[in-house]
Amino acid sequence: MNKHTKMAFVVAPFLAIFGFIGADLYEENKADDNKIVQLVPEGHCDITNKSCVLLSGEFKINVSDEAGVTEVNSTFPLDSATLFLVDKSDKMTPYPLGMKKSPYYWRSNTPLGGLLANQVDSYKLRLIIKIKGGQYIGEFYTQTVQ
């Protein structure tokens, strides 16, 4: 073994460790960049029966309503969440959701349960989720099916 090969064996572990740390720092810094991602409903959305899931890749949001309290829970911790009820004339009413015990669960009192009392009624909703500078935006309809 010559001296260059010996030196390569000594230096290689340090280069691997520094490369791993540098890549991790780069990815963490990149995660804080502003970006907008679309949330798409997974099949039919029925908030009253707790079967409304929005997704974007591995990120999933479950939206439900029980006794006038609309709740959002997610697979990743959220910084903030706002639900918008959109009427037939496209006028939005915002409902900022508050954290419940952990950043995975958010809730607020909304009139959504009363609006979805009839089976044939569908209602348009918009949801904006903020995570580390990224915004996840979804527009979807919910309809009660029994």
Tens-digit pLDDT profile for residues 34-49: 788 888 888 888 888 8
Separation between Cα atoms, residue 50 and residue 58, nearest integer Å: 20
Q: Find, among 98, 92, 40, the residue nearest to 72 by Cα.
A: 98
Q: pTM score, two decimals?
A: 0.72
Architecture of domain 35-143: Sandwich (2.60)
Over residues 119-135, the pLDDT tens digits come to 667 788 899 999 887 88
Pair type for strands 59-66 and 92-100 = unpaired
Q: Would the pLDDT of 109 be above 80?
A: yes
Instruction: Give pLDDT, residue 94.
Output: 92
- What residues does each domain of the chain span? 1-31, 35-143
Contact partners, residue 49, CB within 8 Å, separation at least 6: 144, 145, 146
Q: Which neighbouring-strand residues pair with 62?
A: 53, 73
